[in-house]
Amino acid sequence: MIPPRLHATLDALSAALLVVGPSVAGARPSARKRLAAIGLGVAAYSLATSYRDPAPERPIRPELHRLLDAGHGATCLALAQDVDEPSARALLRGYAAFALAVAALSSPAGPRGIQVEAQAAAVPGDELASLRCGIVNVAFIGAPGSGDREWFLVDAGIPGSAKPILRAARRRYGQARPAAILLTHGHFDHVGAIRQLMDEWDAPVYAHPAEHPYLTGRLSYPPAAPEVGGGMMAELSSLFPRHAIDISRRLRALPDGGHVPGLTDWQWIHTPGHTPGHVSFWNRKNGALIAGDAIITTKQESLHGALFPRARLQGPPAYFTPDWSAAQSSIRRLADLDPNVLVTGHGPTLQGAELTRGLRDLLTAFQQRAMPRNSRYLQGPRRTGA
Ligand SMILES: [Zn+2]
Ligand SMILES: [Zn+2]
């Protein structure tokens, strides 16, 4: 991690480089002006930054500063596209890469999680399958070849996932439609394709009543906590959508008692913390657990961990978790089931002894391993909404 003092020095150097560099490199006046403007921008927001946390005298906090670093890095990358002059273009691209790297490397260490050995991550048996849609997983419950209204989809991926999910469903079930779509929770990366899918299949959507405000347009999720650190996903999390969607037309409440209508052997379990109405799905008969974001199996705070999941047992994605004490109780509840197989919202499927050991270690060292060191929510959730 780049310490605050070094970060401040790098900012001063890059501002100076952007203002003076282009003249030295002999860039044309138009490119020179553009680069100088960016340099002055960097100087301005750096002067307004409290690099050390906590240091409240200046208006820009470190996590906002890192977001600005990443944002102007990305802007420089885009600007470089329409700069004709090779030297100015190279300078702009090099600088963009530098700004993005500084933003990523300045992110404080996020939750460490528990190292687990990578496994051949197939789901044993054929009743359950998971499908990765970009940074998130969806799950199919029901053996291949199940008939019309005899299988279930769990979650609906990031926006744009409808096609790959429909394709996978067709491969597995032909033209048969699901009995219902079950939601672990309503975060944007789990409901991205819900509208297309529920309409295409004319299927009801089940979620816990406590999650309904976020699925009926009534309440936004609380603000993200980019200060948890751990990488670019955390740094950018304040830009992620958290507004409520409205699928009231097809939304149903999961009935009391854990039963899922039409689904035998499985029950839903309330696992709040990450969101108030988060649920997991548990198959008592074969020990399979779909934990959604209550437990995940990659370091989702980092862009690398999100895009190239590597087996690691973690608590819920830290930047989007407002209630850590509920999250801990939920993990305890799931670990007590002693699952044989764990399918999560993010990361590979885990199973067997490695899973048992990992869950136990995650609970034993919950504060050190699953929780972030810094978060606006460490003192408990705040009432938010609107
Ligand atoms: Zn989530
Ligand atoms: Zn998620």
Q: pLDDT of 88-102, one tens digit each?
A: 788 888 888 998 888
Quote the number of domains for the chain: 2
386: in domain: no
Instruction: Quote the CA–CA distance of 303 and 89 in Å, as a whole number.
Output: 26
**Residue from 303, 299, 345 nearest 318 by CA:** 299
User: How many Å lie between the centroid of ligand 2 and the Cα of residue 324?
Assistant: 16
If asked whether residues 11 and 50 sit together in one domain, one would say: yes
If asked whether residues 58 and 120 sit together in one domain, one would say: no
If asked whether residues 224 and 244 sit together in one domain, one would say: yes
Higher pLDDT, 174 or 27: 174
User: How many Å lie between the centroid of ligand 2 and the Cα of residue 277?
Assistant: 14
Cα Rg of the chain (Å, integer): 23
Instruction: Quote the CA–CA distance of 168 and 159 in Å, as a whole number.
Output: 16
**383 pLDDT more than 60:** no
Neighbours of ion ligand 1 (CB under 5 A): 187, 293
Question: pLDDT value at position 205?
Answer: 98
Confidence of residue 385 (pLDDT cuts 50, 70, 90): very low
**Residue from 95, 96, 5, 97 nearest 46 by CA:** 5
55, 88, 106 — which closes off a domain?
106
Residues 6+ apart with CB under 8 A from 61: 49, 50, 53, 227
User: How many Å lie between the centroid of ligand 2 and the Cα of residue 81?
Assistant: 33
User: How many Å lie between the centroid of ligand 1 and the Cα of residue 348?
Assistant: 16
Q: Which listed ligand is nearest to 319 at the C-alpha? A: 1
User: How many Å lie between the centroid of ligand 2 and the Cα of residue 82?
Assistant: 36
pLDDT in tens, 111-127: 999 988 766 555 667 89
If asked whether residues 263 and 200 sit together in one domain, one would say: yes
User: How many Å lie between the centroid of ligand 2 and the Cα of residue 22?
Assistant: 43
Neighbours of ion ligand 2 (CB under 5 A): 189, 293, 345
Three-state DSSP state, 170: helix
**207 pLDDT more than 50:** yes
The per-residue pLDDT of the chain, averaged, comes to 91
pLDDT average, residue stretch 103-116: 88
- Write out the residue range of the structural domain in which residue 172 sits: 114-370
Residue with tokens 């501002």: 15
User: How many Å lie between the centroid of ligand 2 and the Cα of residue 344?
Assistant: 9
If asked whether residues 48 and 180 sit together in one domain, one would say: no
Phi, psi of 246 (to 5 degrees): -130, 100
For the chain, give me the number of helices (H) and strands (E)?
10, 14
Confidence of residue 240 (pLDDT cuts 50, 70, 90): very high
User: How many Å lie between the centroid of ligand 1 and the Cα of residue 320?
Assistant: 7
Higher pLDDT, 289 or 77: 289
**55 pLDDT more than 60:** no
Q: Which listed ligand is nearest to 189 at the C-alpha? A: 2
C-alpha of 160 from chain center:
16
162-173 and 194-201 are packed helices; what angle lies between their axes, rounded to 10 degrees? 40
Residues 6+ apart with CB under 8 A from 34: 79, 83
**Are residues 60 and 48 in contact, defined by beta-carbon separation less than 8 angstroms?**
yes
Confidence of residue 133 (pLDDT cuts 50, 70, 90): very high
156: in domain: yes
pLDDT average, residue stretch 196-223: 98
User: How many Å lie between the centroid of ligand 2 and the Cα of residue 181?
Assistant: 16
Beta strands in 176-335 (DSSP E): 180-182, 205-207, 251-253, 259-260, 263-270, 279-283, 288-290, 312-313
Instruction: Quote the CA–CA distance of 328 and 315 in Å, as a whole number.
Output: 8
Beta bridge partners of 207: 253
Residue with tokens 């309330």: 270
Residue 63 half-sphere exposure, CB side, CA atoms within 13 Å? 24
106, 137, 162 — which closes off a domain?
106
Of the candidate ranges 117-121, 144-148, 226-230, 359-363, the one whose mean pLDDT is the lowest: 117-121
User: How many Å lie between the centroid of ligand 2 and the Cα of residue 317?
Assistant: 7
If asked whether residues 279 and 189 sit together in one domain, one would say: yes
Question: pLDDT value at position 145?
Answer: 95
If asked whether residues 74 and 52 sit together in one domain, one would say: yes
If asked whether residues 90 and 123 sit together in one domain, one would say: no
Q: Which listed ligand is nearest to 137 at the C-alpha? A: 2
Q: Which listed ligand is nearest to 346 at the C-alpha? A: 2
381: in domain: no
29: in domain: yes
CATH (domain of 205) = 3.60.15.10
User: How many Å lie between the centroid of ligand 1 and the Cα of residue 190?
Assistant: 7
**54 pLDDT more than 70:** no
Beta bridge partners of 133: 136
135: in domain: yes
379: in domain: no
Q: Which listed ligand is nearest to 278 at the C-alpha? A: 1
If asked whether residues 243 and 340 sit together in one domain, one would say: yes
Confidence of residue 386 (pLDDT cuts 50, 70, 90): very low
Question: pLDDT value at position 29?
Answer: 83
User: How many Å lie between the centroid of ligand 2 and the Cα of residue 109?
Assistant: 20
How do 251-253 and 312-313 pair as beta strands?
unpaired
**172 pLDDT more than 50:** yes
Question: pLDDT value at position 121?
Answer: 54
If asked whether residues 56 and 126 sit together in one domain, one would say: no
89, 106, 123 — which closes off a domain?
106
Q: In what order do the strands lie in the sheet with 259-260?
A: 259-260, 263-270, 279-283, 288-290, 341-343, 350-351
Question: pLDDT value at position 118?
Answer: 66
341: in domain: yes
Question: pLDDT value at position 119?
Answer: 64
If asked whether residues 36 and 149 sit together in one domain, one would say: no
**14 pLDDT more than 60:** yes
376: in domain: no
Confidence of residue 59 (pLDDT cuts 50, 70, 90): confident
Instruction: Quote the CA–CA distance of 337 and 317 in Å, as a whole number.
Output: 22
If asked whether residues 87 and 161 sit together in one domain, one would say: no
pLDDT average, residue stretch 220-248: 94
Burial class (CB in 10 A: 0-12, 13-18, 19+), 275: buried
